[in-house]
Amino acid sequence: MPTLLHIDASLWPEDVSTSRSVTATFRREWEAQHPGGTVIHRDLAAEPLPHLDARAYTAGAGDLLRDALATELEQADAIVAGAPMYNYTIPSTLKAWLDHIIILGRTAGELPSAAGTPTVVVASRGGGYGPGTPRESFEFVTTYLEKTLGDTLGLDVEFIIPELTMAPHVPAMADLIDMSHASRHKAHEDAAARAKILAAKAA
Ligand SMILES: Cc1cc2nc3c(=O)[nH]c(=O)nc-3n(C[C@H](O)[C@H](O)[C@H](O)COP(=O)(O)O)c2cc1C
């Protein structure tokens, strides 16, 4: 039976967090097609990983935690990951996960062990950073994850981007509330649609 690796990193619970609610939509659709399948949930906010230290780095795949995390990655038929924007980049908890799982000679290098795994990243953000916007050059979430998840680990990465999530809470963004709601609605639709397609492929 297929395995989904579900990663969340938002510091907020699902009823507040946009990325968690969208990864949950993806997961629900996946589970509807694979009720007997396996879902591995890594909640990096609830159970943060330690920072990589010299011992674990030197041990590489010989380190128990790194081996376990790499095995989770390799077992996955698909991955859905929440990557909220914190200070223009990914949460440090997600960076800690990356530092553990990028293991040269196993998950990275000439033959990355999880290469080709379909990976949907929900890159939620409070503002707008799309092409042509004034803050475009401040965007280090998708640009960074394209390189690490895509180029380094060889995963087949795509992004779903609910943005302007702060509009309902910031008076100066009041004009953007409709766009914020539309972006969130589309993110849920896209997540459900991608989950259906990827679950069917994994059957
Ligand atoms: C510590 C922190 C830093 C943030 N930094 C940014 C930022 O640099 N740019 C931005 O657009 N939004 C920023 N935000 C807002 C979040 O990106 C926004 O709330 C988004 O919806 C987070 O995803 P979530 O709803 O899944 O938690 C920040 C939020 C927090 C908690």
Structure-block tokens of residue 33: 């097609």
Ligand 1 atom closest to Cα of residue 138: 8
* pLDDT tens readout for residues 113-140: 999 999 999 999 999 999 999 999 999 9
* pLDDT tens readout for residues 172-183: 999 999 999 999
Q: Is 125 in the pocket of ligand 1 (CB under 6 A)?
A: yes
**What DSSP line would sit under the chain, residue for residue?**
--EEEEEE--SS-TTT-HHHHHHHHHHHHHHHH-TTSEEEEEETTTSPPPPP-HHHHHHGGGSHHHHHHHHHHHH-SEEEEE---BTTB--HHHHHHHHHH--BTTTBSSS-TTTT-EEEEE---SS---TTSTTGGG--SHHHHIIIIIIIT--EEEEE----TTGGG-GGGGGGHHHHHHHHHHHHHHHHHHHHHHHHHH-
The alpha carbon of 122 and the centre of ligand 1 are apart by a number of angstroms equal to 13
As a whole-number percent, the residues of the chain with pLDDT over 90 amount to 99
The alpha carbon of 91 and the centre of ligand 1 are apart by a number of angstroms equal to 9
Read off the pLDDT band of 62 (50, 70, 90).
very high
Q: Give me the CATH number covering residue 99.
A: 3.40.50.360
Range of the domain at 160: 3-201
If one counts the domains in the chain, the total is: 1
Instruction: Using most ligand atoms within 8 A of CB, pick from 165, 169, 180, 181 the residue to mutate for ligand 1.
Output: 165
